Structure 1
């Protein structure tokens, strides 16, 4: 998936598409998830700068907008960070609020299962927007019976649970980069993963470390660091 930015000549349409994806995703969830997404959409529509990818607003202002107390704001913003939907671009200090950003790629990846509820035209449009150039689906060959890959079940341990989430999220990416990782265990707040080669380890550190962090957080892991070593 390429980096999504709602800027340029078609910026307005892209903004509506992203908000529509969030809306459709929320409507498939339980009331808690619906409220969380609605609260984020309120921040986006009132305070988010699409051009610079910056959300700058204090907890007191958020509490007033959401009609909640500041403790609820802290809890809900923490949930959004765990999901990977919100990232901290610059930590607040000396009376200045933190500068936050949105990971639009992550949002679109998580909301993708709900896109068909909007309509086939939306799926076709967003599919072409989020696939890298040159990777469009080739016409189906009806003479070939597709091979159904077995699902990856969650295994014991933090990495066992995280790898199942990664496989369910994007099986092709999982097979290429995550399936070959071995669990090196957790020690002093650091999860160690063993890659098949130095190139493999370097690629993961450079391009996919954030996706690994999100999967580990969603698996319930509270580690401060993920270290990738070559086997």
Structure 2
């Protein structure tokens, strides 16, 4: 499906759609989630460069905007990065602030369950922007029968991946075997070198977010061919 981008002739409407999705997601959550999303929306509406997907603002400025101390800024920005909503495009150095970006596809995936709260017209409009990787018609993914659910972090990550996109899960994630965790790195075993290479190239971010949410102590993923 076509992915939403807040650029072009309909940029203004797309921006409202993204912010509406975030709003609906926040209102359905608890007070902590509502506060975090509100703070991110404040950054988006005041400092975010939609055209370049860049957010460059220092912690002191953020603290002033949010009316909090810098320790709170560090904590909440870390939560946003861990969720996958914010990514680091360029790390700050020598007095320069980091340049951040928004992962709009990740935001749409996480907010999708609450779109219906806005209304059926919104759901119908957003259906064409639902973030799912385009099907690769040149290759046929290796398929295996469903394997028994793994234990631990990979089990929870599998459940999230399946709930986000069942077809994608069945094609690329279901056959991955849990190779264990080594020094904060989850090892996943793919059925072939091609399968492993495809995951590393096209779907590693999706895997990384799901695993991080399952176990925040896991910072890396290594995909090996079985």
- Taking structure 2 as the reference length, the TM-score comes to 0.90
Match for residue 17 of structure 1? 17
1-structure distance, mates of 2:220, 2:113: 30
Residue 174 of structure 1 pairs with residue 169 of structure 2: yes
Deviations 1:131-185 (A, max 9, x none): 67998xxxxxxxxxxxxxxxx9975222122111211222111111100000011
Q: How many residues align?
A: 215
> Residues 157, 28 of structure 1: CA spacing in aligned structure 2 closer, same or farther, 3 A cutoff?
same
Q: How far has the Cα of 1:129 moved from its partner? A: 2.6
Match for residue 148 of structure 1? none
> Residues 118, 194 of structure 1: CA spacing in aligned structure 2 closer, same or farther, 3 A cutoff?
same
Corresponding residue to 2:207 among 193, 204, 212: 212
> Residues 29, 133 of structure 1: CA spacing in aligned structure 2 closer, same or farther, 3 A cutoff?
closer
- Taking structure 1 as the reference length, the TM-score comes to 0.88
Corresponding residue to 1:161 among 151, 156, 165: 156
Deviations 1:101-154 (A, max 9, x none): 00000001100011111111110111013367998xxxxxxxxxxxxxxxx997
Match for residue 111 of structure 1? 111
2-structure distance, mates of 1:183, 1:161: 12
The list of structure 1 runs, each at least 4 consecutive aligned residues, that deviate by more than 4 angstroms after superposition, is 131-135, 152-155
Unaligned runs of 5+ in 1: 136-151
Match for residue 99 of structure 1? 99
Cα contact 1:158–1:221 (8 A) shared by 2: no
Q: How far has the Cα of 1:220 moved from its partner? A: 1.6
2-structure distance, mates of 1:131, 1:70: 33
Match for residue 79 of structure 1? 79
* 1:63-78 to 2 correspondences below 5 Å: 63-78=63-78
Deviations 1:173-222 (A, max 9, x none): 11111000000111122211000111111110000001111011100242
97-106 or 195-204: bigger deviation: 195-204
Match for residue 59 of structure 1? 59
1-structure distance, mates of 2:103, 2:2: 12
* 1:37-52 to 2 correspondences below 5 Å: 37-52=37-52
Residue 36 of structure 1 pairs with residue 31 of structure 2: no
SS class of match (2:55): strand
SS class of match (1:56): coil
Corresponding residue to 2:179 among 184, 200, 211: 184
SS class of match (1:42): helix
Q: How far has the Cα of 1:2 moved from its partner? A: 4.5
Unaligned runs of 5+ in 2: 136-146
